[in-house]
Structures are given as structure tokens and as C-alpha cells.
A = this chain, B = another copy of it.
């Protein structure tokens, strides 16, 4: 079994640590600047913790699960010897790990994690990369303990998938936020939209492609309804521009596909 240290104390660090523990591969140590937070995760897993550089345990794999911006600095500040060092970020290249590290890797779980919510990675695609075959092999073994869907990708592919994740995750959630605002303008709560949201998602999950199940005024190019809608948004130019932008994009993409 590969001896692993998790660095960080956020959602990703916590979920990785507890998922590894459940998979029978308890980390050696949780290491984080925030000593209390490290101790808390370590207690959940029944492992050691540390927060001072000289306390860092010797391991075969260090997983740096910190914010994107901190990856470079953290990877520079600690002595990893010749171990494999992996980060967990979608949009950060493998080469952002410090130059002094010989065995670099990435282990990116394609999921949105919630503080305090117990998640695990079984169904979650984990995208991995290694700067050499030994580093890749190490990170692959650990990823396969966590998930049934381990995919080998390079930094460029991972960046594209991370961008796709922003669209399907953050941006679709923002559509719910706007929907809530409009429902409140009508004197109703977000609640009223939930059955529609659930069904829309289910339909897309069942479809070969989400394009096949698109409905509404934009894909029908229904001018009358679209102009009614943009009139309703005349005092909210930012929403109006989103409406027009997305309606045009839906129509353009649907034209392209129907020409195929």
C-alpha cells in the first residue's frame, strides 16, 4: 500500500482523507497550516497530523489539496525528498508544482464538494497525470482505490474539462439563481421551480446528448415569445443580455446540429 500524506484542510483534503480511510488506505498524516483543522480531519481518519515543516511525515505520495493559488508556494515550502507530489486542481498545470520536485502528478476529482457533507469518490471521475511513468503509476494506484472511473489526461485536456465543469456546474447553478429572482418578482419562492429543475436534469442524464432534449422558445426560434421575454427584462439589462446571448447560442448550435 502506498504511504500517503494529505496536505490541506479544506473540502477536497477532507474528502480525500476520509475516502482513502474508508477504502482501507488510511493516510499516514494530515498536514496543514491550520493545526486545528488538520487535527479534526486526522481524528476522523484515526491518523497523525502536523502543521510545522519539520513535522511532515516521510511518505511515498504527498497530495497537495490546497487552493489553486497556494499550490506553487506549498510545493516549494516543504521537503518531499524523492516522493511523488500531486496536486488536485482542475485548471492548474502539472508544471506549477515546484521545479525541485522530480516526481510530479495530478489527481483531480471532477466533483463539487460541500463543506460538512460526506461525499465519496466512487462514482466521481478522477483525472490523473504524471510527469513520469513512476509518478503516474503511484497516483493511479491511489486514484483507483477511490473511484471506478480513473482517466489519464494531460494538463491541457484537464483544463478543458475544468472549463466544461464551470459551465455545467457553476453556470447552470446561476441559471437557478436567476430563476429564483424572477420567481420572487412574481411573488413566488424558488420551491416552485424545483420539479422543473429535477425533471430537466433527469432528461439530460437519460439523453444521448443534452442537445437532443432541448426545448423552449430559443430552439424553436419563436420570435414572439423571445421578444415578449426581452421586453420583460428591459429594466434588467444584465439579464436581458444573458437571455439574448443564450437564446442565440441555442439557436446557432441547433442549426449546426440539424445540418449534420
Contacts and interface: CB of A to CB of B under 8 A. Distances in A.
B164 A186 contact: yes
A186 B167 CA distance: 15
Nearest to A222: B68
Given A205-B194, A238-B252, A242-B245, A183 B161 contact: yes
A219 interface: yes
Interface residues of A, number: 88
B249 A238 contact: yes
A117 to B, nearest CB: 8
Contact of A182 (B161, B210, B215, B253): B161
A250 interface: yes
A91 B228 contact: yes
A123 interface: yes
In the A-B complex, the 9 residue pairs with the smallest Cβ-Cβ separation, listed nearest first, are A170-B216, A168-B179, A176-B210, A164-B182, A172-B172, A160-B186, A157-B186, A164-B179, A172-B175
20 contacts: A68-B224, A68-B225, A69-B222, A91-B228, A91-B229, A110-B193, A114-B213, A125-B192, A151-B188, A157-B186, A159-B228, A164-B180, A165-B193, A167-B176, A168-B178, A170-B218, A171-B246, A172-B172, A177-B211, A238-B252
